[in-house]
Structure 1
């Protein structure tokens, strides 16, 4: 009986040790799951030459969730390089007009209307540092660079009927920071959760009719939440 208890204790310690094992140099991790891009709630002012420059009009961007992917390569048990990817995110762009200026210009108040939408890809590469851990919980921090590409920008049908056209958003280059953690389920599989901030600033330009030009400096600056399942090769 005593021998059986000793054997069980040894096997249990080996099992825990396997789960708690730190990452090693050369490990490659692939993750997939849900990623939510939540832009900041600040509204961006709109500049229109024909309305005297700066206007009370403003724009905001809503959030969107997509399939998130990332790939992590370990240089040692602490340091790794992570590449963040995802399926394209599509965001509605809302126009705000608290003073009703649009009523006199378009004969209708567009406050709160969905002006248009844009799709983007935010590939991000980061250096991440895993803290030493003797448990299945593996916390880390990271910092890196982001390049966001906007495409398929377009106005909705109603704004088009008012003369809005040629919506365009510039690509953005900025920094990214994050905190996250893995929870090891076994030698290969783990759950991952992370929160990151990405510096995304873009200039939106558009036309109203054939001659009126407008623009807005949009600070997207989203908080990005990810809940993923990972596999270590």
Structure 2
């Protein structure tokens, strides 16, 4: 179904029950898809400017509520693929990466929100590992792993007591040192916004 249809279906199916806190000890799983959208200015290497494109992949996250409305979430995904372009020397490259992210999140009670929407915010740590680096000229391209701060905001739109449709956005601080045949070329600043939708189930 198209995103617009999903939102409409979720809105029309909302229950009229009162809002309650998510109790401590609750688990939730969210399965969906996210787009990693790197910032527009990805930096300058010793060989010139760098451009990194976006990519969409399936994602899954698990969250455990350590206190009422307070959860610890781990995000995982199928490897993202990014094409890299060096316009000053007209050379293309590519890489894959995995960006597991651990966040502490607060889910607001939705007493005052329309349609029982439940917003949440979170902050955490992102670890990004790069692999299968390739470049269209001879040489061994290497991108170092990255550790940085991650922020998270989103909305859960319930359509059953333990099920919801989620729209969310994350900011990830991802910077990587780049080398070719062991020679340092400089730093690439990817630092993307990550936009997604997911189906959420509580247990």
TM-score of the two chains, using structure 2 as the length reference: 0.86
In the alignment, what sits opposite 1:94? 85
For structure 1, which runs of at least 5 residues remain unmatched after alignment? 1-14, 48-54, 103-109
Q: Is the 8 A contact 1:31 1:231 kept in 2?
A: yes
Offset of residue 213 of structure 1: 4.0
RMSD: 1.7
Does the alignment pair 1:181 with 2:146?
no
Task: Pick the structure with more helix per residue.
Answer: 1
Equivalent position SS for 1:75:
strand
Q: Pick one of 116, 122, 130 that aligns with 1:142.
A: 122
Q: Give the Cα–Cα distance (whole angstroms) in 2 for the partners of residues 68 and 117 of structure 1.
A: 21
In the alignment, what sits opposite 2:101? 124
Q: Give the Cα–Cα distance (whole angstroms) in 2 for the partners of residues 133 and 75 of structure 1.
A: 19
Offset of residue 77 of structure 1: 2.5
Q: Could you list the per-position Cα deviations for residues 5-31 of structure 1 after superposition, in whole angstroms to 9, with x for gaps in the alignment? A: xxxxxxxxxx6226x333111110001
Q: Pick one of 44, 50, 64 that aligns with 1:59.
A: 50
In the alignment, what sits opposite 1:73? 64
Q: Which structure has the larger Rg?
A: 1
Q: Give the Cα–Cα distance (whole angstroms) in 2 for the partners of residues 21 and 131 of structure 1.
A: 10
Q: Give the Cα–Cα distance (whole angstroms) in 2 for the partners of residues 214 and 165 of structure 1.
A: 13
Q: Pick one of 183, 191, 197 that aligns with 1:221.
A: 191
Q: Is the 8 A contact 1:195 1:226 kept in 2?
A: yes
Aligned residues: 186
Q: Could you list the per-position Cα deviations for residues 34-84 of structure 1 after superposition, in whole angstroms to 9, with x for gaps in the alignment? A: 11100101032122xxxxxxx5x2111110000011111112332111111
In the alignment, what sits opposite 1:4? none
Q: Is the 8 A contact 2:45 2:188 kept in 1?
A: no
Offset of residue 226 of structure 1: 1.2
Q: Is the 8 A contact 1:27 1:73 kept in 2?
A: yes
Does the alignment pair 1:169 with 2:150?
no
Equivalent position SS for 2:67:
coil
Q: Give the Cα–Cα distance (whole angstroms) in 2 for the partners of residues 213 and 224 of structure 1.
A: 31
